[in-house]
Amino acid sequence: MECVLLCAERPHNVIGSSSPNIIGQGLQFTVYQEGERVRKKPNAISDILRILAKSSPQNVVNPLGLGREARRIARERDAAVAEFKAHVVKPELVANAEVRGRTIVQDKVVPLGKALSLSDSPHEILDAFVRLTRDCWRNGFSETSFNFTVNHGLTSDGAVVVIDIGEISFARDVVQRHVSERIWSRCWSLTNDLNADLRSYAVDAFDAAFTVEALNAFWADAPLSG
């Protein structure tokens, strides 16, 4: 999803839901644990409406606008999943994600926000996020919201990977615009989900690594799938 407005808001993750198998929920997907893998089921419009209404009660004042927003979110998610299917993506960059019908199956990882808070060396995790993002650029895609504490994870091998397939873009011009606007500087993960020390480390690291020059030097379009 191209996340120009929503990235600055708190991602709508709901953990601790009534179903014991649910380990996460964003606006686009509800995530169920299945052993070492997860199954991500697309949220119905009614689920998206409920999550939007719960996260910002002022949204309910404009139900027409809310309905439009929910339909836009579902449409952009479906388009992002179709784009993902249409390209060849190195599985190790996306937690071995596979599209099965309307569902995504993926390795279970530790969401990066949790990994950062548990780690003795969180700066190294941020460095690994920078390397991963540049690897994604080398392979023709990028996670566009930079809400890395919830849209990326740490594998059991210690690798940082993208988990939110609905936030990926394969369009260099879209990524270029986000980079030139330094979209990370406004994103919720950075403004609300890191302590001051990590925030300042992350801004410096991202500003140094995520430049339009670097994007153009690294980028190679992803091959289309057969």
Ligand X SMILES: Nc1ncnc2c1ncn2[C@@H]1O[C@H](COP(=O)(O)OP(=O)(O)O)[C@@H](O)[C@H]1O
Beta strand residue intervals within the chain, DSSP E:
22-25, 29-34, 37-42, 98-100, 103-107, 110-111, 142-143, 152-154, 160-162, 168-169
Strands 160-162 and 168-169: unpaired
| x-marked contacts with ligand X along 3-22 as a string, rule CB under 6 A | ----------x---------
**Residue 164 found at the interface with Mg ion (CB under 5 A):** yes
- Of 26, 122, 132, 190, the one binding ligand X (CB under 6 A) is 26
User: Shortest approach of Mg ion to residue 155 CB, angstroms?
Assistant: 17
Burial grade of 201 (CB within 10 A; 0-12, 13-18, 19 or more): middle
Binding positions for ligand X, 77-136, rule CB under 6 A: 95, 106-109, 111
Binding positions for Mg ion, 130-149, rule CB under 5 A: none
Which of these segments, 23-31, 86-94, 189-197, 210-218, binds ligand X (CB under 6 A)?
A: 23-31
Angstrom distances, CA of residue 77 to CA of 102, 165, 215: 10, 8, 24
**Residue 122 found at the interface with Mg ion (CB under 5 A):** no
Which of these segments, 2-10, 22-30, 73-81, 125-133, binds Mg ion (CB under 5 A)?
A: 22-30
**Residue 154 found at the interface with ligand X (CB under 6 A):** no
* The one-letter amino acid at 141: F
Residues that bind Mg ion (CB under 5 A): 26, 151, 164
